[in-house]
Amino acid sequence: MLAVALRRRDAKESVTAIVKHLGVGRSTLYAPSPPTPKPSPPAASPIERSGLRPVR
């Protein structure tokens, strides 16, 4: 639905006409999208988990 609305808006159609046709409120198109989840940190290696430090 959002992709359709964005294409129509890019085609210079009024937001009022778009939401009326889609049957949603104007705030639906202006509502922020859900936040994207942050990637989890990489897993620790077995050496890091053991607390040992590598010899240099």
pLDDT digits (tens, 9 = 90+) for 8-56: 888 988 888 988 988 988 888 777 666 677 888 777 777 777 777 767 7
Residues 6+ apart with CB under 8 A from 15: 9, 26, 29
Q: What is the model's pLDDT at position 9?
A: 82
In this structure, what DSSP letter does residue 36 have? P
For the chain, give every domain's residue range.
Answer: 1-31
Q: Quick one: tokens of 26?
A: 């104007």
What is the pTM (predicted TM-score) of this model?
0.48
Please name the amino acid found at residue 28.
Answer: T
- Are 25 and 18 spatial neighbours (Cβ–Cβ below 8 Å)? no
